[in-house]
Chains A and B, each alone.
Chain A
Amino acid sequence: AQSVTQPDIHITVSEGASLELRCNYSYGATPYLFWYVQSPGQGLQLLLKYFSGDTLVQGIKGFEAEFKRSQSSFNLRKPSVHWSDAAEYFCAVISNFGNEKLTFGTGTRLTIIP
């Protein structure tokens, strides 16, 4: 069964510092991978997605993610965080063969300190 793991429940970063949020998936074939952001009391906003091709994907708000098949990872990065980036971040996966479940990780809460 496909699964998504976000090992970090909570990360605190200083404003202006770089950020990397980890995401590992478990599935045999190449999945469809997504990163979403959710502010408190809000719905989910898509940051970026990977289906195929270039393994470095650019998203909105200055975020990027890199798909690494050998590590089954799809980590989210940002060179310099802003206070407005404080939110909950979710990695998600769809298997692209057969099972069409869209499975989310448990999320990483990002806190930004001055």
Chain B
Amino acid sequence: NAGVTQTPKFRILKIGQSMTLQCAQDMNHNYMYWYRQDPGMGLKLIYYSVGAGITDKGEVPNGYNVSRSTTEDFPLRLELAAPSQTSVYFCASRSGDNADTIYFGEGSWLTVV
């Protein structure tokens, strides 16, 4: 049981490049989330999903896309990287049952230059 796994941990992108941040969980959780955390700031919700095939926008979805084709995976896509997307990205998952616990990945540090 690996929990929530994010890859890559570190990445430097050039402006205009695209990339996908991977997030996988092996706990059969329905709910998955993507956040970004800018230096000295809190976590802002980018997108979330309540189950396979269902995604919804959070507070700051512009410039990102997600998909949820399986329960396990919730990749975050940056199509045209901009310096404003320099941030730390966290993926999280939870079961949604009464004994709910939220599991976080270790974070992905992304720099756009």
Chain A residues in the interface with B (C-beta under 8 A): 6, 32, 34, 43-44, 46, 49, 51, 90, 94, 100-107, 109
Contact = CB atoms under 8 A, between A and B. Distances in A.
A8 to B, nearest CB: 13
Given A46-B102, A102-B94, 4 more contacts: A43-B106, A44-B90, A44-B104, A90-B43
Contacts of B41: 106-107
Given A32-B100, A34-B102, A100 B35 contact: no
A102 B92 contact: yes
Contact of A104 (B35, B96, B101, B106): B35
Contacts of B102: 34, 46, 102
A107 B42 CA distance: 6
Nearest to B44: A104
A43 B90 contact: yes
Contacts of A105: 42
A46 B48 contact: no
A94 B30 CA distance: 14
Q: Is the interface of A mostly helix, strand, loop or mixed?
A: strand
B104 A43 contact: yes
A102 B33 CA distance: 8
A106 B42 CA distance: 4
B31 interface: yes
B106 A101 contact: no
Given A43-B90, A44-B90, A51-B98, A104 B42 contact: yes
Interface in B34-48: 35, 40-45, 48
Contacts of A102: 31, 33, 45, 48, 92, 94, 102
For B31, B100, B102, the residue with the greatest tally of chain A CB atoms inside 10 Å of its CB is B102
8 contacts: A32-B100, A43-B105, A43-B107, A44-B104, A94-B100, A102-B102, A103-B45, A104-B43
Interface string B99-113: 011101111000000
Given A43-B106, A105-B42, A100 B31 contact: yes
